[in-house]
């Protein structure tokens, strides 16, 4: 595990297979996944629905055990969920009985950080996501976009070296979604976490990713890995952006077409 | 903003969803007038019915005492001081019996909901005992621990345990797994996971079980006070039956109703405080 502080850890997925029992038969979901995510890298997992990208993320999070293979964080194999791997869910999953600030403080409090320091941490990350004046509200009082900001602040406040994001902006409207992408990209320039980001939006992936992994249709294998060399502040209308977008769209469409056949 | 618009202002999505089904809630004052009106109308119909019995010479008016006579009887019992001993006896039995039942239900239900091993040990026994109407067990309690206070308290404990145990097990067992995952990835395991996530997430349903338990306590106390009690509102009703004092029977029943209402209101109030996050003030 990497020392606490800004910066990420390296994730290695080694020979991971995952099969689910379906009607009494073992059905493969992921086949032979080998992948290395560099420290501080933002890696997007992209693929047709049902391709196993969320399953892979859940395995890295430690929520699901792989059928074969293993996942290492730096040199340590993972055995379950842990605070060094923060998770942001599509459904936000805030604790509804805690206020916004208490949600963000949840991790540090558990870790035994003293109360005054916890408040400082919460204030810092709520500032970062622009929600400081909503600190005393409860989750039911927030919009979807605000909830997801709290969830991101909560994950970051626990100072994980890795952040796993499972279609975090999937439930948001198009405008909010772009704003959130911009905020995440801005935060990442400060925090340099290792981020694994699952999405089915090619635009979103091209906007955010350092590298982008396209999975095949089910069972998921790695189809192709793209390095997105567009620099830090990206312009969605730049010609190079569009070039990546159309190239990746072509690859993804081939995979979607396979499902239809 | 005009007053009317102020009332209509939507504070949360929850409001919007509920309003979509029922329309906006009535203004406070109007709701209160409707509620008070209903009570007055009820008393009016009741007086009219008992008055008709007297005027029309339908049957012996002793069978249907009018509301004013019943309330007069309650007042009389209150002034002479007799009422308070009976109320105290009933309330004491309910409080001790219910509290013991609730403690047992939580002490067994929380671990049973959380640990499959405990659930599998407890559930078969509960499932065998639960369908037996608690009333069937009352004579046994009397044989076992005598006709005094203990059997009455034990009976309430026994009867209220089951609904509170079952809702607690269900509440703890049904906590959204995503909440548990979120907590685990923030570093919560075992004890903190239970107390900081499972328990607060299960609390709304546990409180529903507790409300059921309170209601049930008042339900069953009367029955056990019919049998071999010298005090209590159930005794007062039974005593009224023996001496044909219909006003006393109805009076005691009304006092019981008020006590049950107060008990429920207390739990609802506690719930509002503990579950402030469900409907926070805007």
Residues of B at the A interface (Cβ-Cβ below 8 Å)? 11-14, 176, 178-179, 181-188, 192, 196-197, 200-201, 203, 275-280, 282
pTM score = 0.84
Report yes or no: A118 and A108 within 8 Å, Cβ to Cβ. Answer: yes
Q: Distance between CA B15 and CA B25 in Å, rounded?
A: 10
CA B138, CA B155: separation in Å to the nearest integer? 6
- With an 8 Å Cβ cutoff, are A93 and B192 in contact? no
Residues pairing with A35 in the sheet = A13
ipTM value for the complex: 0.91
pLDDT tens per residue across all 261 residues of chain A: 334 445 789 999 999 999 998 888 889 999 999 999 999 999 999 988 888 999 999 999 999 999 999 999 998 999 999 999 999 999 999 999 999 999 999 999 999 999 999 999 999 999 988 999 999 999 999 999 999 999 999 999 999 999 999 999 988 888 889 998 998 999 899 889 999 999 999 999 999 999 999 999 889 999 999 999 998 888 999 999 999 999 999 999 998 888 766
Name the closest residue on chain B to residue A137, using Cα atoms: B280
**Separation CA A122–CA A101 (nearest Å):** 6
Residue in the structure block whose two tokens are 């159309």: A246
According to DSSP H, which parts of A170-238 are helical?
174-191, 202-208
What phi and psi values does residue B111 have, to the nearest 5 degrees? -65, -35
Min distance B182 CA to chain A CA atoms (Å): 7
CA distances from A227 to A42, A204, A211, A231, B163 (A): 11, 15, 4, 11, 59
The whole-angstrom separation of Cα A169 and Cα A89 is 9
Residue B281's contacts (CB-CB under 8 Å, 6 or more residues apart) are none
Contacts of A6 (CB under 8 A, 6+ apart): A190, A191, A192
**d(C-alpha B40, C-alpha B275), whole Å:** 33
The number of CA neighbours under 13 Å toward the Cβ of A141 is 19
What pLDDT, in 10s, does the model give residues B21-39?
666 778 888 889 999 999 9
CB of A16 within 8 A of CB of A22? no
- How many Å from the N-terminal Cα to the C-terminal Cα in chain B? 17
The rounded radius of gyration (Å) of the Cα atoms in chain A is 18
Cβ atoms of residues B178 and A89 within 8 Å: yes
Q: Which chain A residues contact residue B187 at CB under 8 A?
A: 82-83, 107, 110-111, 158
β-strand A162-166 against A85-88: which pairing, if any?
parallel
CB contact under 8 A, A137 and B187: no
- State how far Cα B121 lies from the chain centre: 29
From chain B, the residues in CB contact with A96 under 8 A are 277-278
């Amino acid at each position: 595990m990497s020392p606490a502080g800004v910066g990420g850890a390296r994730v290695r997925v080694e020979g991971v297979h995952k099969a689910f029992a379906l009607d009494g038969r073992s059905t493969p979901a992921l086949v032979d996944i080998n992948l290395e995510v560099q420290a501080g890298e933002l890696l997007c997992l992209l693929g047709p629905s049902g391709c196993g990208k969320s399953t892979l993320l859940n395995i890295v999070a430690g929520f699901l055990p792989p059928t074969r293979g293993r996942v290492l964080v730096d040199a340590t194999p993972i055995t379950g969920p842990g605070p060094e791997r923060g998770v942001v869910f599509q459904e936000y999953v805030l604790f509804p009985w805690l206020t916004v600030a208490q949600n963000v403080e949840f991790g540090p409090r558990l870790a035994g950080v003293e109360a005054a320091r916890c408040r400082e941490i919460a204030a810092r990350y709520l500032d970062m996501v622009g929600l400081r004046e909503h600190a005393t509200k409860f989750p039911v009082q927030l919009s979807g976009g605000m909830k997801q900001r709290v969830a991101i602040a909560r994950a970051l406040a626990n100072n994980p070296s890795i952040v796993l994001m499972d279609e975090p902006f999937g439930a948001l409207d198009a405008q909010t979604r772009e704003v959130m992408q911009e905020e995440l990209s801005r935060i990442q320039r400060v925090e340099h976490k290792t981020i694994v980001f699952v999405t089915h939006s090619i635009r979103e992936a091209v906007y955010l990713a350092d590298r982008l992994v396209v999975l095949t249709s089910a069972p998921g294998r790695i189809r192709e890995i793209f390095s997105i060399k567009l620099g830090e502040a990206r312009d969605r209308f730049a010609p190079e952006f569009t070039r990546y977008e159309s190239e990746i769209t072509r690859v993804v469409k081939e995979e979607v077409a396979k499902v239809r056949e | 903003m005009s007053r009317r618009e102020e009332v209509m202002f939507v504070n949360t999505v929850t409001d919007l969803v509920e309003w979509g089904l029922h329309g906006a809630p009535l203004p406070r004052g109007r709701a209160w007038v409707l509620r008070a009106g209903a009570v007055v109308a009820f008393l009016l119909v009741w007086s009219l019915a008992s008055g008709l019995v007297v005027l029309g010479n339908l049957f012996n008016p002793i069978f249907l005492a009018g509301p004013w006579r019943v309330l007069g009887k309650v007042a009389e019992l209150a002034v002479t001081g007799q009422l308070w001993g009976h109320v105290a006896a009933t309330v004491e039995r309910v409080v001790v019996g219910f509290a013991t039942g609730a403690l047992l239900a939580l002490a067994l239900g929380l671990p049973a909901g959380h640990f499959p091993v405990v659930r599998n040990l407890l559930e078969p026994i509960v499932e065998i005992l639960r369908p037996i109407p608690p009333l069937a067990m009352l004579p046994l309690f009397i044989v076992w621990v005598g006709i005094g206070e203990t059997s009455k308290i034990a009976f309430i404990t026994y009867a209220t345990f089951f609904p509170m145990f079952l809702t607690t097990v269900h509440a703890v067992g049904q906590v959204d797994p995503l909440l548990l995952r979120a907590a685990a990835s923030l570093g919560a395991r075992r004890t903190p996971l239970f107390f900081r996530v499972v328990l607060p997430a299960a609390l709304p349903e546990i409180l529903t079980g507790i409300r059921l338990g309170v209601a049930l306590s008042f339900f069953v106390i009367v029955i056990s006070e019919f049998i071999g009690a010298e005090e209590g509102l159930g005794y007062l009703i039974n005593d009224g039956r023996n001496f044909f004092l219909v006003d006393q029977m109805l009076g005691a029943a009304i006092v019981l109703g008020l006590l049950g209402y107060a008990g429920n209101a207390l739990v609802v109030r506690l719930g509002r405080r503990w579950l402030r996050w469900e409907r926070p003030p805007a």
